[in-house]
């Protein structure tokens, strides 16, 4: 049980997928200008990333590994993710209209969100078990959403502050992200403390 808690805290705060591992920066800077789009994008990512990680886990362990065609990993993962996003979009439109109206416009953007493909690859490379993989996926996606919503809160305030003209837009967004990364960097010390806690 303790292992899972450490995995969650590690994926959520210490190795935050966005601010420590640099995955998913394009949608991060693109959709963090307003709070409502940030929330929509965040929840769409949690939803798709978790399903995508479950599906790619089975693709890797039930299809690619037994057949010995591991070199097709990149091609098959991206195709699975692209098809999945399409499928989720159609499914939601048909059976969950309110959810579709809330997340719909963000779904096509998620195919090229490297956080999705990145977590799927990380789960395979770190040789997680299925349960660990699912926990990791949910925690990483929540970490993405957390950072995105925090960022949107800051950027809404930046709109009304006097930023030098050359830095407006993405440049000040990156610098803000850097300061947030610095704050999240403080969690690194927790890594050792947590391990010590489990051992005691």
Partner 1 sequence: MGLMHEFTKGLWKDLAPFRVVLGLCPVLAVTKEAETGLGMGIGVIFVLTCSNIIVSSIRKLIPRQVRIASFIVIIASFVTMVELFSQAYFYPIYQKLGIFIPLIVVNCIILGRAEAFASRNGVVASALDGLGIGLGFTMSLVVLASIREILGAGTIFGIDIMWESFRPFTFMAEAPGAFISLGLLLGIMNAVSKTSQS
Nearest residue to 99 via CA among 144, 155, 145, 48: 48
Q: Are 177 and 28 in contact (CB under 8 A)?
A: yes
Residue among 77 and 106 whose Cβ is closer to partner 1? 77
- Give the residue among 131, 112, 143, 144 at the shortest CA–CA distance from 53: 131
Of 62 and 126, CB closest to partner 1? 126
For partner 1, give the closer residue by CB, 92 or 123. Answer: 123
Cα–Cα distance list, 117 to 60, 129, 130, 192, 198 (Å) = 13, 18, 17, 29, 31
Taking the least distance from each CB to partner 1, the nearer of 99 and 180 is: 180
Query: Burial code of 162-196, b = ≥16 C-beta within 10 A, e = fewer?
Result: eeeeeeeeeebbeebbeebeeebeebeeeeeebee
* Minimum CB–partner distance for residue 200 and partner 1 (Å): 29
Least CB distance to partner 1 at residue 198 (A): 26
Site of interaction with partner 1 (CB under 8 A): 19-26, 29, 71-75, 77-79, 82, 111-114, 117-118, 121-122, 125, 164-167, 170-175, 177-179, 181-182, 184-185
Q: What is the closest distance, in whole angstroms, from the C-beta atom of residue 76 to partner 1 in the complex?
A: 9
Confirm if 25 and 18 have CB atoms less than 8 A apart.
yes
In the complex with partner 1, the residue whose CB is nearer, 101 or 170, is 170
């Amino acid at each position: 049980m303790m292992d899972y808690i450490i995995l969650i805290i590690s994926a959520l705060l210490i190795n935050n997928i966005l601010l420590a591992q640099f995955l998913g920066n394009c949608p991060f800077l693109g959709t963090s200008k307003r709070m409502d789009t940030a929330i929509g994008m965040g929840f769409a990512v949690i939803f798709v990333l978790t399903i995508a990680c479950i599906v790619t886990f089975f693709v890797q362990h039930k299809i690619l590994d037994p057949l010995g065609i591991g070199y097709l990993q990149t091609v098959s993962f991206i195709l699975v993710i692209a098809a999945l996003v399409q499928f989720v979009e159609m499914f939601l439109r048909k059976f969950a209209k309110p959810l579709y109206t809330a997340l719909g416009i963000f779904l096509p953007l998620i195919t090229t969100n490297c956080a999705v493909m990145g977590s799927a690859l990380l789960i395979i490379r770190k040789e997680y078990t299925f349960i660990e993989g699912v926990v990791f996926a949910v925690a990483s996606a929540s970490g993405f959403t957390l950072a995105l919503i925090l960022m949107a809160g800051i950027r809404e305030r930046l709109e009304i502050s006097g930023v030098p003209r050359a830095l407006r837009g993405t440049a000040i967004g990156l610098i803000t992200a850097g300061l947030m990364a610095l704050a999240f960097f403080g969690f690194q010390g927790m890594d050792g403390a947590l391990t010590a806690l489990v051992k005691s």
